[in-house]
Amino acid sequence: VLVVLDDDDPTGTQTCHDISVLTVWDEETLRDEFESECAGFFILTNSRALPPTEARLLVKEICRAVKHAAAEAGKTFEIVLRGDSTLRGHFPDEPEAAEEILGEADMWILAPFFEQGARLTIEDTHDVASPDGQLIPAAQTPFAKDAPFAYTQSNLRQHIRSPLWQYREATAKFPGLPYVVFPGNVGERDTLRDLVARWAKSKNRDSFQPMQYQRLGSSGLKVSRLILGCMTFGNPNWEGSPWILPEEQALPLLKKAYDQGISTWETANSYSNGESERIIGKALRTYDIPRSKVVLMTKLYYPVLEGSHRRPQPASNDGELVNQMGLSRKHIFDAVEGSLRRLGTSYIDVLQLHRLDNDTRPEEVMEALHDLVKMGKVHYIGASSMSCWQFARLQYTAKMHHWTTFTSMSGLYNLLYREEEREMIPFCEAEGVGLIPWSPVARGLLTRPWSEQTDRSKKDVKTARWFQGDQNEIIVSRVEKLAKSKHCSMSSLALAWLMHKNACPIVGLNSISRIEAVSEALGINLTAADMRFLEEKYQPLAPQAM
């Protein structure tokens, strides 16, 4: 077994003796190293000088090349991904990127500062020793003004707990611990080895919050309290959606979600023009997941242009798309057959109306859904994103004819958009309809401090349209403050708020670490005072996403 050391900092080469130091990572060069008699080799990435997004891509590229070269050489390997300090390096971006290619790491070890580099961590404050021996807090040194590597805090506990543990959602890697370090400053090898044994925390711990389940409305069907949103999985070339993960990256995430107890998966036939459904079906077959152990939810209304990257906007039931969308009996039956084929299953647990079709009578829609239930192709029905009066009209049309009624409603609902509370949620509670809201963290706005908005959050058209209130900054700041007091991530707190409302949020999870971390929300207790603190600054908004 060869050891491959991947380091983001040129100074790491000072610790290398009698092994190759590579500054290139093409597969031919790596294969030559694997086929030699060496015990290992060192790859110098210098990724610390790159922006976070580029650093992630570089780590993925290297890990993929190492994996392929080792396979060609018939060698097994252990990879050690070593990065600069948490105050200056890309943590946890780089290890998360490596996990996406190579699978879960055996453990993550944070060993921030050592005396040999004149860097000392004393009572949580990182100091740098000057040439004359004076200790200067890191944020007051010239390093803090270095644009590529700048940092603004000297307190390690505050730095890690806030932008990393909360925003990046890595809490679950070390459950119950604000951070993991080697206490004091360590120099001797034996002492270091002992500290590794005592302080390095494996990710496979019994302290993860186990998944919880609840009935979907008044039905007998139980769903996981956190529902996996599968719009993230499909075709990255699907128009306007470069963030989507392709099959090879999506499959391990579906397996991980299942292993974590997130057994309810929600998608739509139109997501990536059917690719999302196809990948879900492949995951069930690839990992031999019993069909009875998962709840599959899908939606219909929009056209599915199989084999195409196009995303018709706006879509119209005319021309080349005539009868390829909407809620006519013909399209409902055709869409269900297509979903069953792509999912590789004989039934859909919950079939949802993606949007309302104003051109089709409620009687035609509800009778078609009822017939599918009676045929056994659909077990329950739900709806998504419509006005309460429209939903009530469909529900009571079914009741008057003794047809199958709705079990779930999926609407835009989160701390920044609460218009569903006016009519839809009270109606659903009265009717025994379960709530499965989408966009529970408001397109990322509730996952990070307001000052850390991304380019997407600043420029995204839907974000600007849906979350218009001047109160947003105040609410996000309150989420940040309460999350700090509860030692949890902001996103977990936002999810916990929804679960406190008896909703099962649909959550997009695009990495192993996020799937592991999301269960943190299940263990967060919110008092009546907490709820008031989060809710009292909300102001009415115009209805959106109908």
Residue 494, strand partner residues: none
Q: What is the widest separation between alpha-carbon atoms in the chain?
A: 87
Q: What is the pLDDT of residue 461?
A: 72
Q: What is the pLDDT of residue 52?
A: 77
Distance CA 352, CA 380 (A): 9
Residue 45 has φ and ψ, to the nearest 5°, of -95, -30
Element counts in the chain: helices (H) and strands (E):
17, 19
Q: What is the pTM of this model?
A: 0.66
Q: What is the pLDDT of residue 156?
A: 52
Ordered per-residue pLDDT tens for the chain, 546 residues: 567 776 666 666 666 777 888 889 999 999 999 998 788 888 888 787 788 788 889 999 999 999 999 999 999 988 888 776 544 567 667 888 888 899 877 766 655 444 445 566 555 566 777 766 677 776 677 655 544 344 556 555 444 433 332 223 333 343 433 333 333 333 343 443 443 343 333 344 444 689 999 999 999 999 999 999 999 999 999 987 788 999 999 999 999 999 999 999 999 999 999 999 999 999 999 999 999 999 999 999 999 998 888 888 788 999 999 999 999 999 999 999 999 999 999 999 999 999 999 999 999 999 999 999 999 999 999 999 999 999 999 999 999 999 999 999 999 999 999 999 999 999 999 999 999 999 999 999 999 998 886 655 666 777 777 887 789 999 999 999 999 999 899 999 999 999 999 999 999 999 888 898 899 999 999 999 999 999 999 999 999 877
CATH 3.50.50.60 fits 213-443+490-522, yes or no: no
Burial of 197 (0-12, 13-18, 19+ CB in 10 A): exposed
Distance CA 327, CA 339 (A): 15
- Dihedral, CA of residue 457, residue 460, residue 466 and residue 470, to nearest 10: 50
Q: What is the pLDDT of residue 388?
A: 98
Q: What is the pLDDT of residue 70?
A: 92
Q: Domain ranges in the chain? A: 1-105, 111-207, 213-443+490-522
Distance CA 73, CA 29 (A): 11
Number of other CB atoms surrounding residue 543 within 10 Å: 14
Hey, which residues are catalytic here? Answer: 271
Give the position of tokens 């069907």: 221
Q: What is the pLDDT of residue 544?
A: 87
